[in-house]
C-alpha cells in the first residue's frame, strides 16, 4: 500500500499521509491540508470524512459485519447480558465474574434518582414526548450529581458518573412512561437484574404485579445489546462534538438523545410501525407506498430501509428478525404488522429501485414489532434505542476526552452569500 497520496492543485503537488486501521480501512490524512494548501474539503453529511480514530466498534458495511471491541455482535447477542456488553464497550474487555458482580452491584446502587428530580416529571404536559423528557432529565442529572470522578475509579477507566448514568437512565425512562399514563411510579427493585428491573418499573402496578416472562427479558436484553454502539453515527458524533467543547458528560449525552430522535436515525423504529399501520389500514396497498417511496417529488420514504454504511443486510436486522419470530411465537402474540413487514420486505427485495440502491432492512425495521409484543408503547420506541445506545455514547465520549490530539469540533464551510456591501440606513430601505 502507498503510504501517501498525491494532490495536485494549481500546478503544485502535495503529499498527504495515508493511515490504515487494524481491519484494513484506509484514510487520507488531511489534518494539515488547509495549512499547507489553503484549501478545505467539502463533504456535507460527512459521507467520506473520518472524524476520529477509535478502537471501540468496527463495522464493514459491504460485508454486513459489526464487532464491539473485536467481538462479533452475533456472539455477544447470543451469550451476554446487556450489562456485560456495556462493560465491554466501556472498558475494552469482557468482565470476569467478580468484575461483572461489582458492576451489577453498582447498577443497583445507582438505580434511584434524587426525589427532587421526580417533581420535574409532574410539570411536563400530559402528551409530552418521552424523548424530550429523557433529554431534559439526562441534562439535569448534572445539577443533582455534578461530581464526575468523586470516588476511586473501581473499574479502571470507567468512572462512577458512567455507572450512575447507565443505571439512572433506565429509571428515568420508566418513570417518564408511568407519568405519561398517570400511574404511580414503581421504584427500582434491588432483587432484579438490569433488564428485569426496567420491565418491572414500566409495567408493575399496585395490586397487579407484573410477572417478568423470561422470553420478554431475553428479547429486550438482545435488543439493547444490538443497539449498544454503532461508531460515528449522527447521535454519537453529536455526543463527541458537544464533549469536544468541554461540555460535561450529561450535557453531551442529552444532546445525543436529541440527535437520535429524528426519523432518519433512531426515530425510524417508531416511524416503521406507524408506516406498517398505515399500510394495514389502507387495505394492504403495498404498491401505493412503494410507489410513493420511489417518487422523487414525494418526501415519503420506506422507514426501516437503507443505511448510510450498510450496503447489504444490516447484521442487527438479521438477528432482530429471528428474535421477532421467536418472541411472538413464545408469547403467542399474533400481530398482523409482522405479516405486513414480511410482505413489504419481500416486495422490496424484488424491486429494482431498492436493489440498485442497496436498500435492505435496517435495525429499526423489525425491532418495533418486538417492542409492541412486549408491551412497550410506540412513543417509547426511540427511548428504548437510547437506553441501548448509552454505553456506546459514554465510551465514545470517554475516548474523545482521552485523545491527546482532540480539538474542539469545528467544521469549515464554503460561503456563497453576498460579499461585503454598503450598509443601508432604515430610511433608505425598500
**Catalytic residue set:** 307, 364
Q: How far is CA 305 from CA 46, 47, 309, 311, in A?
A: 20, 18, 12, 11
Distance from C-alpha of 251 to C-alpha of 254, rounded to nearest angstrom: 5
Q: Does 308 bind ligand CMC (CB under 6 A)?
A: yes
Mark the segment that binds ligand CMC (CB under 6 A) among 13-21, 153-161, 297-305, 330-338.
297-305
Q: Does 284 bind ligand CMC (CB under 6 A)?
A: no
Give buried/exposed letters for 236-258 (b at 16+ CB in 10 A, else e).
Answer: bbbbbbbbbeebbbbbbbbbbbb
Give the per-residue contact string, 256-275, with ligand CMC (x = CB under 6 A; - = no).
--------xxx-x-------
Selected from 77, 85, 293, 373, the binder of ligand CMC by CB under 6 A is 293
Selected from 303, 367, 382, 396, the binder of ligand CMC by CB under 6 A is 303
CB of 353 to ligand CMC, least distance (A): 7
Selected from 364, 372, 396, 399, the binder of ligand CMC by CB under 6 A is 364
CB of 30 to ligand CMC, least distance (A): 22
Number of H helices, E strands in the chain: 18, 6
Selected from 139, 188, 304, 391, the binder of ligand CMC by CB under 6 A is 304
Give the per-residue contact string, 212-241, with ligand CMC (x = CB under 6 A; - = no).
------------------x--x--------
Specify the residue, 219 or 268, whose C-beta has the smaller distance to ligand CMC: 268
From the CB of residue 399, how many other CB atoms can be counted at a distance below 10 Å? 19
CB of 60 to ligand CMC, least distance (A): 15
The dihedral over CA atoms of 33, 38, 43, 48, expressed in degrees to the nearest 10, equals -20
From the CB of residue 63, how many other CB atoms can be counted at a distance below 10 Å? 11
CB of 10 to ligand CMC, least distance (A): 32
From the CB of residue 311, how many other CB atoms can be counted at a distance below 10 Å? 16
Contact 167, 111 (CB under 8 A): yes
Specify the residue, 188 or 361, whose C-beta has the smaller distance to ligand CMC: 361
Q: Does 363 bind ligand CMC (CB under 6 A)?
A: yes
Size of the site for ligand CMC (CB under 6 A): 21
The phi-psi region of residue 380 (left if phi > 0; otherwise alpha if psi is between -120 and 50; otherwise beta) is: alpha
Chain centroid, CA 95 distance in Å:
23
Specify the residue, 103 or 393, whose C-beta has the smaller distance to ligand CMC: 393
Specify the residue, 329 or 357, whose C-beta has the smaller distance to ligand CMC: 357
Joined grid coordinates for residue 171:
429509571
In the complex, residue closest to ligand CMC by CB? 306
SS3 string of 77-122? HHHCCHHHHHHHHHHCCCCCHHHHHHHHHHHHHCCCCCHHHHHHHH
Specify the residue, 171 or 382, whose C-beta has the smaller distance to ligand CMC: 382
Give the angle subtended at the CA of 331 by the CAs of 207 and 171, to the nearest 5°.
Answer: 50
Specify the residue, 178 or 222, whose C-beta has the smaller distance to ligand CMC: 222
Specify the residue, 180 or 232, whose C-beta has the smaller distance to ligand CMC: 232
Joined grid coordinates for residue 181:
399514563
Q: Does 391 bind ligand CMC (CB under 6 A)?
A: no
CB of 306 to ligand CMC, least distance (A): 2
Residues near ligand CMC (CB under 6 A) are 45, 230, 233, 264-266, 268, 293, 301-308, 357, 359, 362-364
Amino acid at each position: 500500500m502507498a503510504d501517501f497520496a498525491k494532490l495536485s492543485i494549481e500546478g503544485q503537488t502535495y503529499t498527504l499521509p495515508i493511515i490504515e486501521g487494524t481491519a484494513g480501512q484506509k484514510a487520507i490524512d488531511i489534518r494539515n491540508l488547509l495549512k499547507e494548501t489553503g484549501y478545505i474539503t467539502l463533504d456535507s453529511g460527512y459521507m467520506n470524512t473520518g472524524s476520529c480514530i477509535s478502537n471501540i466498534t468496527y463495522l464493514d458495511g459491504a460485508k454486513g459485519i459489526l464487532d464491539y471491541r473485536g467481538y462479533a455482535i452475533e456472539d455477544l447477542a447470543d451469550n451476554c447480558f446487556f450489562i456485560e456488553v456495556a462493560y465491554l464497550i466501556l472498558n475494552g474487555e469482557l468482565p470476569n465474574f467478580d468484575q461483572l458482580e461489582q458492576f451489577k452491584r453498582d447498577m443497583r446502587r445507582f438505580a434511584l434518582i434524587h426525589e427532587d428530580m421526580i417533581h420535574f416529571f409532574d410539570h411536563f404536559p400530559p402528551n409530552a414526548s418521552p424523548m424530550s423528557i429523557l433529554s431534559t432529565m439526562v441534562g439535569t442529572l448534572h445539577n443533582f450529581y455534578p461530581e464526575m470522578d468523586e470516588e476511586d475509579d473501581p473499574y479502571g477507566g470507567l468512572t462512577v458518573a458512567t455507572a450512575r448514568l447507565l443505571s439512572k437512565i433506565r429509571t428515568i425512562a420508566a418513570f417518564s412512561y408511568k407519568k405519561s399514563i398517570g400511574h404511580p411510579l414503581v421504584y427500582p427493585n434491588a432483587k432484579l437484574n438490569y433488564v428485569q428491573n426496567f420491565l418491572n418499573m414500566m409495567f408493575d402496578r399496585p395490586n397487579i404485579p407484573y410477572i417478568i416472562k423470561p422470553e420478554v427479558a431475553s428479547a429486550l436484553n438482545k435488543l439493547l445489546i444490538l443497539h449498544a454502539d454503532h461508531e460515528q453515527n449522527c447521535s454519537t458524533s453529536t455526543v463527541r462534538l458537544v464533549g469536544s467543547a468541554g461540555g460535561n458528560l450529561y450535557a453531551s449525552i442529552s444532546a445525543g438523545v436529541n440527535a437520535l430522535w429524528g426519523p432518519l436515525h433512531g426515530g425510524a423504529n417508531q416511524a416503521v410501525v406507524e408506516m406498517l399501520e398505515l399500510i394495514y389500514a389502507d387495505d394492504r396497498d403495498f404498491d401505493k407506498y412503494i410507489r410513493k417511496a420511489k417518487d422523487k417529488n414525494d418526501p415519503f420514504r420506506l422507514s426501516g430501509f437503507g443505511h448510510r454504511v450498510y450496503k447489504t443486510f444490516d447484521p442487527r436486522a438479521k438477528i432482530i428478525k429471528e428474535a421477532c419470530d421467536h418472541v411472538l411465537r413464545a408469547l403467542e402474540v399474533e400481530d398482523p404488522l409482522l405479516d405486513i413487514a414480511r410482505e413489504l420486505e419481500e416486495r422490496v427485495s424484488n424491486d429494482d429501485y431498492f436493489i440498485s440502491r442497496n436498500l435492505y432492512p435496517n435495525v429499526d425495521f423489525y425491532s418495533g414489532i418486538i417492542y409492541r409484543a412486549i408491551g412497550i408503547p410506540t412513543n417509547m420506541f426511540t427511548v428504548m434505542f437510547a437506553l441501548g445506545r448509552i454505553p456506546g455514547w459514554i465510551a465514545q465520549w470517554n475516548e474523545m476526552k482521552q485523545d491527546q490530539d482532540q480539538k474542539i469540533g469545528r467544521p469549515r464551510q464554503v460561503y456563497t452569500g453576498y460579499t461585503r456591501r454598503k450598509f443601508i440606513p432604515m430610511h433608505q430601505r425598500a
